[in-house]
Copies of this chain bind each other. A is one copy, B any other.
Amino acid sequence: MDLTKGQPYLAIPGPSVMPEAVLRAMHRGAPNIYEGELIDLTYGVLSDLKIVAGTVHNAAIYIGNGHAAWEAALSNVLSPGDKVLVPAAGAFGHGWSEMAAGLGAQCDVLDFGRRAPIAAEVVAEALRNDPTHEIKAVLAVHVDTSTSAKSDIAALRSALDATGHPALLMVDCIASFGCDRFEMDRWGVDVMVAACQKGLMVPPGVAFVFFNEQAAKRRSEIERVSRYWDWQPRANPELYYQLFCGTAPTHHIYGLRVALDMILAEGLNNVWLRHETLAKAIWAAVEVWSSEGPLELNIADPDARSHAVTSLRVGKEHGTRLRRWCQDQAGLTLGIGLGMATEEDPNSDGFFRFGHMGHVNAQMIMGLLATVQSGLIALDIPHGSGAIEAAARVIAAR
């Protein structure tokens, strides 16, 4: 029997569920890209993106994905041969490092494994060991989408400050932007990258780089920044087309406008709180399931868990099977395990992830959990009972 014929629910860690209103706004003929309403609309979007980022400094929008934002940000502050320090708490830390290497940087990776966030003190120690300031930047992923580890960026900043080292602090907020609390200026982040298809609820296609004056200064010292990646004209355009180094992503701008309106209407703090509460409901359920069986949260420390993506471990024989069951029997698509491969589990079959970013409410998360509950029963995976009630208590208590 097939019980999937209804609204599909894509609960992967991006792209996320797009609001009706966003998709609706994008269903339109193209506007003029030289005159007319698009111009003001775009400047408004740029300005509101900064509010979400928590910065009064600079924002650049790139047509591109998260990897494009990675490369864009790096291209503005690194020259070939420069050294970067990359504390990695999952696959995306390593990924960013590889992008830097692709630009000719020397990358020192501090690997914090797959179950823990970045330890600020270890990073600081590495900087202290660089008295000649060869390290030009520290690349830190706020929430690593693979492990769902969330690192304490404010603490990292403090640790760096304590060393007196001038390396820039560059942060990847791709998985946390518009989901987990992040305050660029207050936390002292120099460069931040994000993208539109997660907390921002817009189809993939545009990405963002935010940078402060410290980073802008570094940019001015770089010998050469390629035209497409150059953030300077994008952030301070004299002509509209410079905002995008060419043709504007017209439809995405309409989508972003609606998404930002929704976020600002709800209130950024409320958005963060909603994600936090829903994440806690998820944790409550998983902890009950974990009490009598193989399923467990990848990150033990609640303070180090993302509010937007949750990585789970359940054992090689169960992970992919459970994920497939939810999709093929119930209409719920969960995220695959990523970056968790080992010799015994080369395809990360023991892992899967919940995406709960952006346009998510209580009934969706409760549906996700209750569907997984069904799958655990269907596949006879041992688990503690009462998980949904535990999650319901979190929802009920708010």
A370→B391 contact, CB < 8 A? yes
Of the candidates B246, B376, B393, the one whose C-beta lies within 8 Å of that of A68 is B246
At the interface, yes or no: A366 with Cβ under 8 Å from chain B?
yes
Contacts of A336 in B (CB 8 A): 34-35
Residue of B nearest to A265 (CB): B5
Contacts of A246 in B (CB 8 A): 65-68
B203→A251 contact, CB < 8 A? yes
Cβ contacts A57-76/B at 8 Å (1 or 0 each): 00000011111101100010
Q: How far is the CA of A388 from the CA of B18 in the complex (A)?
A: 28
CB A202 to nearest CB in B, in angstroms, measures: 9
The answer to whether residues A270 and B2 also contact, given A17-B30, A396-B374 and a CB cut-off of 8 A, is yes
CB A47 to nearest CB in B, in angstroms, measures: 21
Residue of B nearest to A263 (CB): B5
B14→A32 contact, CB < 8 A? no
Q: How far is the CA of A59 from the CA of B225 in the complex (A)?
A: 26
At the interface, yes or no: A214 with Cβ under 8 Å from chain B?
no
Contacts of A393 in B (CB 8 A): 374, 377
- The number of times this chain is found in the oligomer is 4
Contacts of A252 in B (CB 8 A): 203, 205
Contacts of A36 in B (CB 8 A): 333
Tally of A interface residues using CB under 8 Å: 113
A392→B377 contact, CB < 8 A? yes
CB A209 to nearest CB in B, in angstroms, measures: 13
Contacts of A225 in B (CB 8 A): 102
Of the candidates B65, B227, B363, the one whose C-beta lies within 8 Å of that of A9 is B363
At the interface, yes or no: A389 with Cβ under 8 Å from chain B?
yes
At the interface, yes or no: A163 with Cβ under 8 Å from chain B?
no
- Most chain B CB inside 10 Å of its own CB: which residue of A3, A19, A29: A3
A197→B330 contact, CB < 8 A? no
B1→A15 contact, CB < 8 A? no
CB A134 to nearest CB in B, in angstroms, measures: 20
CB A107 to nearest CB in B, in angstroms, measures: 12
B370→A396 contact, CB < 8 A? no
B250→A203 contact, CB < 8 A? yes
For residues 1 through 54 of chain A, which have their beta carbon under 8 Å from a beta carbon of chain B?
A: 1-10, 12, 14-20, 23-36
Of the candidates B104, B247, B332, B373, the one whose C-beta lies within 8 Å of that of A195 is B247
For residues 384 through 398 of chain A, which have their beta carbon under 8 Å from a beta carbon of chain B?
A: 385-386, 388-389, 391-393, 395-398
At the interface, yes or no: A87 with Cβ under 8 Å from chain B?
no
Of the candidates B27, B66, B230, the one whose C-beta lies within 8 Å of that of A102 is B230
Contacts of A28 in B (CB 8 A): 20, 23-24
Of the candidates B32, B249, B363, the one whose C-beta lies within 8 Å of that of A65 is B249
A363→B330 contact, CB < 8 A? yes
Q: How far is the CA of A397 from the CA of B16 in the complex (A)?
A: 30
Contacts of A398 in B (CB 8 A): 1, 3, 329
Contacts of A228 in B (CB 8 A): 64, 67-68, 70-71, 99, 102
Residue of B nearest to A223 (CB): B104
Contacts of A63 in B (CB 8 A): 63-65, 68, 204-205
A8→B29 contact, CB < 8 A? yes
Chain A: residues with CB nearer than 8 A to chain B? 1-10, 12, 14-20, 23-36, 63-68, 70-71, 75, 80, 98-99, 102-104, 195, 197, 203-206, 224-228, 230, 244-252, 262, 266, 270-271, 273-274, 277-278, 326, 329-333, 335-336, 359-364, 366-371, 373-378, 385-386, 388-389, 391-393, 395-398
* 5 A-B pairs (CB sep. < 8 Å): A1-B277, A4-B362, A9-B363, A30-B204, A67-B244
Q: Which 6 A-B pairs have the closest CB atoms?
A: A367-B367, A6-B361, A67-B246, A378-B396, A366-B370, A102-B227
